[in-house]
Amino acid sequence: MSFQVRSKDLLGRVGTIRTKSGTFNTPHMFPVLDPYHQTLDAKFFKEAGIDALMTNAYLLKRGERNPEPADVHETLGFGQSVATDSGAYQILEYGEVGVKPDEIVRYQEKINSDIGVILDVPTGFRSDPARARWTVDETVRRADQAMKAITRKDILWMGPVQGGVHLAEVERSAAEMSKRDFPIYALGSPTELLESQRYDVLVEMIIAAKRTLPKGKPFHLFGAGHPVLFPFLVALGCDLFDSAAYALYARAGRYLTSEGTQLLGDIVEFACNCPACTGISPSEVLEAAPKEREARLIQHNLWACFSELRRIREAIRRGRLWELLESRSRVHPALLDCFDRIRRHSTLLEASTPTVKPHGIFHLSASSDDRPEAQRFRDRVSRSFEERRKTVLVLPGRWRRPFHEDPRYQTVAKFFEDHSNMSIWFYSLSWGPVPIELDETFPIAQTEGRDVGDPSLYQSKAEDVARLIRTLLPRNVFLVSDGEYGRCVATELMKTLGRRKIVVLDGKKLKSQTIINSVIRKMARNS
């Protein structure tokens, strides 16, 4: 087996997993199939690009009539990778199950699973600290029992991390499971958090587990199956999901989209182009026989999940996962909360984001300031002052990339470049203060930002510029003011450095050579 990572962005990664039955792309969601009620066939999976499924080994075992159980690929009529769950979810639903950890391992080996799960004890959402501690210890104990029983190394075994909402327990569980060499690690117990939209807690649980687990292994999140959450979960480092939500929603007449769930009866026109939504109207689907209606919704719901996963993979390849989060966070207040929570962990996201990307990035709003590239740039700027006590020229950084190509200021800048005692900075709405030495580098020159932009950003960015210029201990500051943002920068500079040190020049008037000459004379006198 191998897990190969091809591209990374934030904590998200695009990769492939090879099992003994085939290869599939990650991030991936295993559609969970009920082995006894099948509505989908191999042809559908092929068309929809679904290369790996999951079914429940515990339910299979319980329904088994033959002493020699069939290969799970035959049972499902699916030749590619099949993962099997162990029945732990049933523990959460119904209390203890009548199967032992070593027994379910042997059964998964017998039915020739490609990916197996050991029998853990889910912590659940409402466990108190003592119960959470017990589930973690018991899961570790069962992991050891299972590992002793494992004879087939060609099956990828998943090691579940428990601990629920008790983050210290999640970390302890992840640390214990890390000591045992599982090819795949997983996080349990998110179902109730997903249902109650407590994404803030879920983000912290995932971070607690990811921080501790080995980085090179795939990370599975049990029970997540709504496309609306995929971008956020992937950005946190989830490579795999499994869910039966697509079928449960379909049964309830619910239609999944990457922007939320809709009731079939509320839809007038399908905006989706998947085969299940093509050539038929929502009202026709609604009037179809219940079986056909459900089958169509099942198919559409899976298409919706898998097209979102493809979109996420493309966003990672292009280095635009952050942009996807920004737009998806706007579709529901709970997702905005989720995104805000993720932004708090920007340092962790920074560590795994490439330093150079194949495409430029977008600065869309204040939340773009938390993206790894912005943090990295601020770090670089704050560490990069060589000489201080120079005369500082502050120019508007807008309209052109790189900033210094703006023809209005070429003449002025040229003069200053000749001047060795001069430090040249731009004030950009996306980046705040940018030294001329960096304005051609990634990502400054490649960023599409709003040049006039959001007035609510002017004040905080102007403060950033003034704060930075102050650390240069300048003798004089010449500010070329341009528009409302320029006026904000002027006010802030005067506040921080004192009125006497600042010369404000009107950006609009710089076209005239006489004005430029007078600026140059003034500069020469001052510096």
Return residues touching Zn ion (CB under 5 A): 272, 274, 276-277, 300, 303
Cβ 81 to Zn ion shortest distance, Å:
25
**CB neighbourhood size of 498 (10 A):** 9
* Amino acid making up residue 341: R
Q: Which is nearer to Zn ion, 303 or 377 (CB)?
A: 303
Q: Which is nearer to Zn ion, 257 or 368 (CB)?
A: 257
HSE toward the beta carbon, residue 109, CA cutoff 13 A: 15
- Give the 3-state secondary structure of residue 199: helix
Edge-to-edge strand ranges of the sheet holding 12-19:
2-9, 12-19, 22-26
Decide the pairing of beta strands 432-435 and 260-263. unpaired
Q: Which is nearer to Zn ion, 272 or 434 (CB)?
A: 272
Cβ 122 to Zn ion shortest distance, Å:
33
Evaluate whether 262 touches 332 at the Cβ level (below 8 Å): no
Strand partners, 433: 427
Q: Which is nearer to Zn ion, 158 or 267 (CB)?
A: 267
Q: Which is nearer to Zn ion, 226 or 501 (CB)?
A: 226
Q: Which of 198, 126, 139, 215 is nearest to 172 (CA)?
A: 139
Q: Which residues are catalytic?
A: 85
Strand partners, 391: 422, 476
Q: Which is nearer to Zn ion, 35 or 275 (CB)?
A: 275
Whole-Å CA distances, 143 to 11, 59, 146: 27, 20, 5
Evaluate whether 482 touches 507 at the Cβ level (below 8 Å): yes
* Sequence-ordered strand ranges (E) for 202-339: 219-222, 240-243, 254-257, 260-263
Cβ 260 to Zn ion shortest distance, Å:
14
Cβ 257 to Zn ion shortest distance, Å:
9
45, 47, 49, 54: CA torsion to nearest 10: -10
Cβ 108 to Zn ion shortest distance, Å:
34
Cβ 209 to Zn ion shortest distance, Å:
33
Chain centre to alpha carbon of residue 201: 16
387, 391, 397, 403: CA torsion to nearest 10: -70
Q: Which is nearer to Zn ion, 17 or 274 (CB)?
A: 274
Cβ 301 to Zn ion shortest distance, Å:
8
Tokens 């599975």, located at residue: 220
